[in-house]
Homo-oligomer: A and B are copies of this chain.
Amino acid sequence: MTRSEIINKVHGRSSMFIICRSKHELRICRPRICVDYRRVVNYMKAEIVSTGTELLLGETLNTSAHYLTGKLSLLGIEVDYHTTVGDNPKRLEQILRQAIERTDIIVTTGGLGPTADDLTKELVAKVLDLKMEIDAPSSENIKQFFSRRKAPMPSSNEKQAFFPKGSKVLPNPIGTAPGAIIEKKGKTVIILPGPPFEMQPMFDNYVWPELVSMIGPHVERMNERVLKVFGMGESSIEKVLDDLMNLPNLTMALLAKRAEMHIRLVARSTEITSGEAKMALDQAEEEIRRRLGNKVFGRDQETMISIVGKALISKDLTISTAESCTGGLLGAAFTQEPGSSKFYLGGAVSYSNALKQSLLGVDEESLKAFGAVSEEVAKEMAEGIRSKTGSALAVSTTGIAGPDGGTNEKPVGLVYIGFATANGVHAEKFQFYGERESVRQLTVQAALNGVRLYVKQ
């Protein structure tokens, strides 16, 4: 049996949140849930309910659920469900009932327009058993919205000024649909408009401060960190980190990107201070880096190219590129971030064999003897561009991106990456899998990673 313990009452606007400790976990809870000593504490949970038929036609991507989830997570509120439903009153009512039943905070987007099928407020009122009443300032704002535009106000817009009784109305400076926060029986329903450019400012300006003032400064405690890994798969990482996966004060999740693995750490702190969460993350990061070594290339906002660029600048090294199968993607990666002219000089895209000879001075004999996709040609390409540009380092790519052009000896995905420096030249052989774009992207990442490891020496 786990007991929960009240750590701190938060004297926010509604004084209804409390920080609790349950075993090793701290969460922000409702008193009615939190002071229940008989069972494991129930954390405050949220559901995002998106309405709008356009979301269910594959026309519009639901970026709002993503946005709101990120924000709520930052506050330590656990988002358990996203639910999307069309402008259908029966289904929306059922979804709202279910959301209010199973979570504590329900955030809706959409269904606040003037048309007959916009019914979110009305259905929230029905589900919470509240009457609808007019909000005079909203009514005035909507009238002004139209008079500013010298347009007559359609009578249908009148309904946008009506809200469930007891609503805290949230103004909409961009459109005609105000939002609302409604609290009843320990549940909070936050009603926001559908268009992201109306929803986001309303959330940031009105809902976020409201939530922060309710929850208090303890939000810093919920800390996260992402470690980025190149050159190891999901299961290999899991094997190496197996015993760290279920630490009492930390959750760890693996996320596969095209050419990278991300390890996401979230600290669950047993103290209110944010310092402890940071310490847990620091310790975990140190241990993971110790085990995975230089497979870990960065963390959080860092990208492979930002790491490589920083390293080149700090060592005052310049670089140039000679690309075949990547066709320019490697140069594009080097120049992706501002300030890349400090280390990247340029290069050649030698897609044809003739250009490998004329632009890079690759030996015709090498092309004949070993083929364009070979260790020898990769080395000559790197040396060639380095001598043309006078860069400290040079990287080359030559490979078979597919889907055609593969043979038994040289299958699709075979890539050679050449590295030339003042100390000499070498090439590495890779066998990638996947479709053409994957092979090209993996080649770029492997080339950047090779530069990273070289510069790090």
Contacts and interface: CB of A to CB of B under 8 A. Distances in A.
Interface stretch (A21-29, A84-92, A210-218): A84-92
A426 to B, nearest CB: 21
Can you tell how many copies of this chain the complex includes? 2
A238 to B, nearest CB: 6
A332 B332 contact: yes
Contacts of A56: 69, 73, 78-82
Nearest to A390: B354
A223 interface: no
A63 B66 CA distance: 10
Contacts of A264: 54, 57, 59
A329 interface: yes
Contacts of A344: 327, 351
Contact of A53 (B253, B333, B335): B253
A211 to B, nearest CB: 14
B69 A57 contact: yes
Contacts of A81: 56, 83-85, 91, 95
A329 B332 CA distance: 5
Interface size class of A (residues with CB under 8 A): 35 or more
Contact of A258 (B197, B337, B348): B197
A175 B258 CA distance: 10
A166 interface: no
A380 to B, nearest CB: 15
Of A234, A235, A348, the most chain B CB neighbours within 10 A belong to: A235
Given A174-B433, A320-B355, 14 more contacts: A50-B82, A56-B80, A57-B69, A57-B70, A58-B67, A58-B70, A58-B71, A58-B79, A60-B255, A62-B82, A81-B84, A154-B239, A329-B329, A346-B350
28 contacts: A54-B255, A55-B66, A55-B69, A56-B73, A56-B79, A57-B266, A59-B253, A60-B255, A80-B91, A82-B83, A83-B83, A114-B234, A114-B235, A157-B235, A174-B435, A321-B328, A328-B330, A329-B329, A335-B351, A338-B402, A338-B404, A339-B404, A345-B355, A346-B350, A346-B355, A347-B349, A349-B349, A359-B359
Interface of A: 50, 53-63, 65-74, 78-86, 88, 91, 95, 113-115, 148-149, 151, 154, 156-157, 173-175, 195, 197, 201, 224, 233-236, 238-239, 253-256, 258, 264, 266, 320-321, 323, 325-341, 344-352, 354-355, 358-359, 388-390, 401-404, 431, 433-438, 440
